[in-house]
Amino acid sequence: MTIRSTKPNHSSFHKYLFRSSIFLLAVAFVGLASGGIAAEIQPARADRRVTRRAIENFTLVDQNGAPFTFEKLAGKVVVVAFAYTTCVDVCPLITAALRQTQIGLGAEERGHVQLLTITTDPEIDSPKVLSTYAKRYGAEFENWAFLTGDPAVLAQVWKNFGVGVKRRARGLIDHTPLTALVDQSKAMRFAYIGPSPDPHAVLADVRALLKQQ
């Protein structure tokens, strides 16, 4: 016959409590660590900056091979993005955000707002390549032009907007991920620097500039 003690076994209970705490702490640590890593590797939203920078006139070539003069956009609000078609980094996000911005514009607003995508890789981005690229994103050419041109002219345009461009290899370009908002008097008023400008923020700023007219 065995005699069982009625006294609660405090030592095993404490061990259980200690082990549980360790386990919970480990789970919390792993959770926080993975959350931290996830937060770290997620591309951040674009940084919005208020600015005032005069933009000089330029003439480039659009997706149809026709000359496109910036001067003719006077009186319109212009959203300018810098991207290139073989980009595997931020450009797909920038172009997708611009498409969302275009979708968000009302019928009347479209007449007063122009979207521009200016290439940072004229070596590859011919008008034909740009046209195919634009169609893949569903871009409507009514108020969105994709521009390329002579590398020397483009270099001047990049400089004008403060965009740095460095060629790493064929079809691999490092460049400032800029989306800029230019007002009716051709001054850059907002700069969104980063991979994913928020279309809602861009639309709000566009509408604010339209009201200023």
Partner 1 sequence: MERRFACATCVSVSWLSSGQIFLLLLVLAGCGRNERMDLLYAERCMNCHGSSGRGDGILAARLPIRPPDFRETVERKSNNQIRRIIGEGRGTMPAFEPALRPAEITDMLQMVRFLSREGRDIAWWERFDTLVIAHCNIPWETVLGYDDKVDQTKP
- Chain positions contacting partner 1, by CB under 8 A: 41-43, 85-89, 92-93, 95-96, 124, 129, 132-133, 136-137, 170-172, 195-196
The CA distance from 127 to 47, in Å, is 30
Smallest distance from partner 1 to CB 123, Å: 9
Does residue 7 sit in helix, strand or coil?
coil
Smallest distance from partner 1 to CB 124, Å: 5
Count CB atoms within 10 A of the CB of residue 69.
10
Q: Report H helices in the chain.
A: 10-41, 91-104, 107-110, 127-136, 151-161, 199-212
Judged by beta carbon, residue 11 or residue 42, the one nearer partner 1 is: 42
Judged by beta carbon, residue 46 or residue 73, the one nearer partner 1 is: 46
Judged by beta carbon, residue 15 or residue 170, the one nearer partner 1 is: 170
Question: Cβ distance 199 to 101 under 8 Å?
Answer: yes
Smallest distance from partner 1 to CB 146, Å: 14
Judged by beta carbon, residue 95 or residue 179, the one nearer partner 1 is: 95
Rounded to 5, what percent of the chain is helix, strand, coil? 40, 25, 30
Judged by beta carbon, residue 177 or residue 183, the one nearer partner 1 is: 177
Judged by beta carbon, residue 40 or residue 108, the one nearer partner 1 is: 40
The CA distance from 23 to 30, in Å, is 11
Question: Cβ distance 138 to 101 under 8 Å?
Answer: no
Smallest distance from partner 1 to CB 59, Å: 24
Smallest distance from partner 1 to CB 148, Å: 12
Smallest distance from partner 1 to CB 118, Å: 17
Does residue 156 sit in helix, strand or coil?
helix
Vertex 63: Cα angle to 110 and 55 (nearest 5): 65
